[in-house]
């Protein structure tokens, strides 16, 4: 298949590994931001292919994983209101909140429906005009334009019963927050491919300029990631960090202007609550004032219990890159995909789920 098979060529992979080995003379600590990259790295055994000088850490790039317990609790509380239908992507169902999950709430007769797109949620709103339809809006810049489009479509059609619980987050800003924490000395970042298809590569330029950290935007196949690592190592060895694109078939420096205009027409920048990090200013999106009537938090009154975290779960540390899933005492013992204790074990792009499936034990 075009753009698939040629990026899985084992002979080319061997040449790239040899190139990395040739280039890498000093320790280089790299972080892949995106959960999709974590899965690809684990599935292809890339960590085992790299020389010992190159260390790769997983970052906070799984939108399900970084959704804070407080926000899960809000979704569950909304689901328990009368005449409310919650619509959500399937991987949100099993994410544990402080006391429950959407899956458990549905078992207790809350009307919670899995959808594949915002268009599915809009159709449920059309079909159920006497009930409030709330879409759980999670994701990064990748999903924000589609949620914005659904709100504009709702307004155009005059649909009165559609709302969004807006939990959208922004990648460059949380990368800055991680660097400011100073817990890790990073030399390079594998920047997210799908997010960058929307925002482009320019929003990352502050990273090499202000922090001296190399950046390469990567695709998701074996050769994509190895090429990105080679480019990062070369930048690090030369002492010239910059932003490069190793995914030009999907990413332009300026991004997708139409998608960005759509996103910014409906949303504006606000704070967001990140699991393991807390509330980070300017790291999320909120509805603009003229679209606030679609905001589920403002439209409905809910009562929340105090937020609590699962005892022994270190998802927050894993999302910040300071620990790995194998450092967790719960991993593979009481926490596994069928019974996730923490959010990183829920989504297929979560670090714990990827380690569970692909890590050699």
Delineate the domains of the chain, giving CATH numbers in brackets: 5-58+171-245 (3.40.50.11750), 67-169+255-299 (3.40.50.11740), 315-358 (no CATH)
Whole-angstrom distance, CA of residue 312 vs CA of residue 329: 7
Cβ-based burial of 329 (10 A; exposed 0-12, middle 13-18, buried ≥19): exposed
Assess contact for 67 and 101: CB atoms under 8 A: no
Whole-angstrom distance, CA of residue 161 vs CA of residue 123: 11
Q: Considering only CA atoms, which of 260, 237, 235 is closest in space to residue 245?
A: 235
CA 65 to the chain's CA centroid = 7
Total Cβ atoms within 10 A of residue 211 = 16
Assess contact for 164 and 295: CB atoms under 8 A: yes
Whole-angstrom distance, CA of residue 196 vs CA of residue 312: 34
pLDDT per residue as tens, the chain (361 positions): 566 778 888 999 999 999 999 999 999 999 999 999 999 999 999 999 999 999 999 999 899 999 999 999 999 999 999 999 999 999 999 999 999 999 999 999 999 999 999 999 999 999 999 999 999 999 999 999 999 999 999 999 999 999 999 999 999 999 999 999 999 999 999 999 999 999 999 999 999 999 999 999 999 999 999 999 999 999 999 999 999 999 999 999 999 999 999 999 999 999 999 999 999 999 999 999 999 999 999 999 999 999 999 999 999 999 999 999 999 999 999 999 999 999 999 998 999 999 999 976 5
Whole-angstrom distance, CA of residue 29 vs CA of residue 186: 5
Q: Please tell me the predicted confidence (pLDDT) of residue 4.
A: 75
Q: Please tell me the predicted confidence (pLDDT) of residue 361.
A: 55
Q: Please tell me the predicted confidence (pLDDT) of residue 164.
A: 98
């Amino acid at each position: 298949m075009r753009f698939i098979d040629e990026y899985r060529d084992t002979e080319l992979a061997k040449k790239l590994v040899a190139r990395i080995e040739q280039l890498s003379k000093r320790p280089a600590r790299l972080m892949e931001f995106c959960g999709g990259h974590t899965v690809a790295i684990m599935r292809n055994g890339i960590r085992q292919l790299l020389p010992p000088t190159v260390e790769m850490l997983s970052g906070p790039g799984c939108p399900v994983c970084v959704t804070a317990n407080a926000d899960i609790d809000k979704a569950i509380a909304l689901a328990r209101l009368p005449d409310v239908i919650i619509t959500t992507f399937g991987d949100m169902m099993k994410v544990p909140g402080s006391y429950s999950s959407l899956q458990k709430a549905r078992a207790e007769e809350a009307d919670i429906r899995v959808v594949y797109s915002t268009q599915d949620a809009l159709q449920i709103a059309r079909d159920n005009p006497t009930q409030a339809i709330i879409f759980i809006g999670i994701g990064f810049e990748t999903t924000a334009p589609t949620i914005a489009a659904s709100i504009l479509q709702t307004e155009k059609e005059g649909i009165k019963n559609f709302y969004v619980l807006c939990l959208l987050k922004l990648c460059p800003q949380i990368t800055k927050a991680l660097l400011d924490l100073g817990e890790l000395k990073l030399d390079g970042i594998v920047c997210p491919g799908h997010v960058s298809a929307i925002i482009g590569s320019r929003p990352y330029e502050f990273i090499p300029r202000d922090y001296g950290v190399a950046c390469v935007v990567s695709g998701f196949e074996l050769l994509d990631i190895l090429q990105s690592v080679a480019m990062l190592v070369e930048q690090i060895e030369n002492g010239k960090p910059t932003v490069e694109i190793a995914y030009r078939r999907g990413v332009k420096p300026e991004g997708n202007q139409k998608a960005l205009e759509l996103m910014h027409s409906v949303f504006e920048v606000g704070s967001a609550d990140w699991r393991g990090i807390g509330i980070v200013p300017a790291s999320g999106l909120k509805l603009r004032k003229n679209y606030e009537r679609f905001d589920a938090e403002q439209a409905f009154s809910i009562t929340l219990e105090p937020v609590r975290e699962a005892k022994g779960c270190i998802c927050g540390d894993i999302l910040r890159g300071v620990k790995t899933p194998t450092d967790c005492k719960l991993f593979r013992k009481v926490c596994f995909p069928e019974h996730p204790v923490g959010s990183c074990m829920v989504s297929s792009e979560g670090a714990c789920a990827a380690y569970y499936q692909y890590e050699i034990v």
